[in-house]
Amino acid sequence: MELYTPDSGRIEVSEERDLVRVRKAVRDACSVTGFGLTDITRIVTAASELARNIYRYAGEGEMRWNGVNDGKKTGIKLIFEDHGPGIADIETALSEGFSTGRSMGMGLPGAKRLMDEVESESGVDQGTKVVVCKWMQR
């Protein structure tokens, strides 16, 4: 289910086709916010990786986003949350090359590299929440 305006919203992630919806919504939100093409590509790539993690490892969850402004700069915040099996050691999972799913381990570390801020919380059987933020460069 999609519930959004270009600057904020929510998309459920439970099917592979939801990944396309996530990418489109993030692209639209970044365009409205005023990001340039390079940053839009970075943000959409990070969102795609994090949404894919929800689909692959938790089966379902959601992405929420909103425009942010701290009085000095403008950006976008993306929140990915699921109630899946969780990650025992989230700090290790954020390190380059870590993978439990026979992949290259680029999902969480890749998103961390592409975005300006990353906050995460997870625990075994507690699900996972990852919040990323990108600020526009002036």
What residue ranges define each of the domains in the chain, with the CATH number in brackets? 2-135 (3.30.565.10)
How many angstroms separate the CA atoms of 1 and 134, rounded?
25
Pairing verdict, β 2-5 and 61-69: unpaired
> 96-104 long-range CB contacts below 8 Å, 24 or more apart?
101/56, 101/57
pLDDT tier for residue 1 given thresholds of 50, 70 and 90: very low
Query: With pLDDT > 70 as the criterion, what percentage of the chain qualifies?
Result: 87
30 burial type by CB count under 10 A (0-12 exposed, 13-18 middle, 19+ buried): buried
CA distances to 3, 47, 78, 81, 104 from 64, in Å: 9, 11, 6, 8, 26
Mean pLDDT throughout 109-133?
Answer: 94
pTM of the full predicted structure?
0.89
Pairing verdict, β 61-69 and 74-82: antiparallel
Return the bridge partners of 9, or none.
4, 65
pLDDT tens for each residue of 57-85: 999 999 999 999 888 999 999 999 999 99
How many angstroms separate the CA atoms of 35 and 134, rounded?
10
Q: Which of 48-52, 58-62, 87-91, 122-126 has the lowest mean pLDDT?
A: 87-91
